[in-house]
Every structure is written in structure tokens, then in C-alpha cells.
Amino acid sequence: MLAKIEQLLQEVKGLTAQNPEELEALRIKYLSKKGAINALMADFRNVPAEQKKEVGMKLNELKNLAQERIATLKEAFDNQDNGAAELDLTRTAYPVNLGTRHPLTIVRNEIIDIFSRMGFTIADGPEVEDDWHVFSSMNFAEDHPARDMQDTFFIESHPDIILRTHTSSVQSRVMEVSQPPIRVICPGRVYRNEAISYRAHCFFHQVEGLYIDKNVSFTDLKQVLLQFAQEMFGPETKIRLRPSYFPFTEPSAEMDISCDICGGEGCPFCKYTGWVEILGCGMVDPAVLEANGIDSKVYTGYAFGMGVERITNLKYKVKDLRMFSENDTRFLEEFESAN
């Protein structure tokens, strides 16, 4: 029997068929109920006991090989191009439109690309966060308004678990596990308990940046932001820094860019000031460094944060924030050339 099995193994290895009809004949010859392999299976009862293990293994090898070879040949015939397969009578007569990237994705990727070329790496973190990473580690006072239910979404069963209100929580997580130099940007979606309107939404997207090292100064921050503004909005763009307040930076500032519509002359878009606000920034407060395990006597740093929707509005003049989340294909098709 072993000799017969070996002979069939060699035959099966060389099986070929020119058409489906020949293939079906081969299947019947080897794998049908009256085929050669089943005949050997039926004769297996006559094999001496001491040979059953060896013969059984060879029979299984033969059967598996035959099944695989027949299946391979069948797949080759199924995949052959033919006129009938190319003509899909159920297909619509109209061209199928290709999808496009969302405008927020286009702008976010452009922001990431600019800062990546300046040496920043991407850091990510959870959207469902704890109070420490969102507020306490960022120097928010216990009675800060941002901790109120009117401003933040809390998880009902866990009062210390919230939907993050900014991606500064990612900065905290990076500082916890890293020592300077640290140079990261943190893109992501954030949530705030606000009424939805043309100018506000309960969720939006941010890109925040953090750089910590020895001898980092406000001049370094200004130069990085100027470079970003001119790459994003054009080489003629000017910036202006105005004093502001944030719990996690000191000193703090808000940055405006010269209006690219009127060239700084004044128009309805910039409310006739010639300037448009795009982000907040400042030097990292020493209390934030210490809270996250970094020696503020050795290291300094700067941080900045911007809304992706805000930048997208400036680039594409989108007047209603709700359009970004309504999935209106007519609106999305306007950005095909920007992909």
C-alpha cells in the first residue's frame, strides 16, 4: 500500500488542468467516493497493525495534498479574466466618486508636518481622563471654574473621571515618564460643556506643544510660533503677542496673526483691527514642572495650544463650526483639491 500511496503522491503533485471540465474529472478521479484515495481509505482496514501509523500518516498527507492542489487549480480558473466577469450589469451608470480627507484632518496634518520639521514628535493620550492629569497637574486651583459641571463633562459614576477639556493632559503624561529634553506636540479631540452654535461646539480638536530643556526662553517660543505662522499662512504673515493668563504658564500670552484677507488694513473678518487671534502660549509655570517630576531650578520650557477648527476657519473661511461635524458631502467635496 505504501508504494501505491507514493505513486499517487507523485501524480497529485503534477496535476494540471486546461479547463474547469478537466479539473472536475481530476476531482472525481482522486477525491470522489469512488475515487482512488477513498479506495485506499477503504483498504486501510487490511493494513497490519504495526504499519497502521505510518500508512495512516501517508494517507492523510495524500488526501490533504490532493485537496489543496484541486482547490488551487479551481481558484486559478475562478480568477481568470473573462468578458462576462468584466461586465457588471448591476453597476450604476454614474461614476463612483472617491472620498476626500476631512478639512480638519487636512489642517491637522499640515500643523503636525510643520512642527515635525522643527523637531517635535507626536504624543497621544486617552480622551477619558482623571482630574489629576487634566487639572491638578496643570496648576488649576481647586475652585477653578473649569472644574464645574457647567464647563466640563464628568463621568457620573466616577466624579474624578472626566472627558478631557484640553490635550495638556497628554503633556502631563509625557512629563511623568520622561526627563528633558522634551519636545512634543499633542493633537487630539477635546470636550467642553458648551451650547452648540455656529461659533462653539461641545467637542473640538486641539494641537498643543511642549518644549522643556535647559535655558529655554520666551524668545525661543516666539521664533517657533513665527516660523509656524509663516509656513501655515504665508511668508508675509506677522505675529503679535498680547499678555494673558493661563494656570499652567507664566508669563502667558495670546498670539494674533496679521489678517491675510485685508493684509492688516482692517476688514469685517478681523473686525477692522488687522489682527486675528489663533493660539495661547507661555512659559511653563515652575509649579507644573515640579508637579510632574521635573526640577524647575534646572529646566525651563514653553507651551502653546491652538484649536484646529480655528486654524481651518482662517484658511478656508468656514463661518459655521457645525459644518465640520454634519458630514454634508456637498461641503466636504469643496476640499477635494486640498488633499
Residue ranges for the known binding site are 250
Q: From edge to edge, which strands make up the β-sheet containing 128-130?
A: 128-130, 158-163, 154-155
- Cell 492688516 found at: 264
Phi first, then psi: give them for residue 185, nearest 5 degrees.
Answer: -120, 145
Handedness of CA 237, 243, 244, 250 (dihedral sign): positive
CA atoms within 13 A on the CB side of 58: 18
Q: Rounded distance, CA 122 to CA 78, Å?
A: 46
Q: Which residues are annotated as a binding site for Mg(2+)?
A: 250
First to last CA, the chain: 67
Q: Rounded distance, CA 146 to CA 284, Å?
A: 19
For residue 288, what is the enclosing H or E element? Answer: helix 286-291
**What is the distance, to the nearest Å, from the Cα of residue 149 to the centroid of all Cα atoms in its chain?**
30
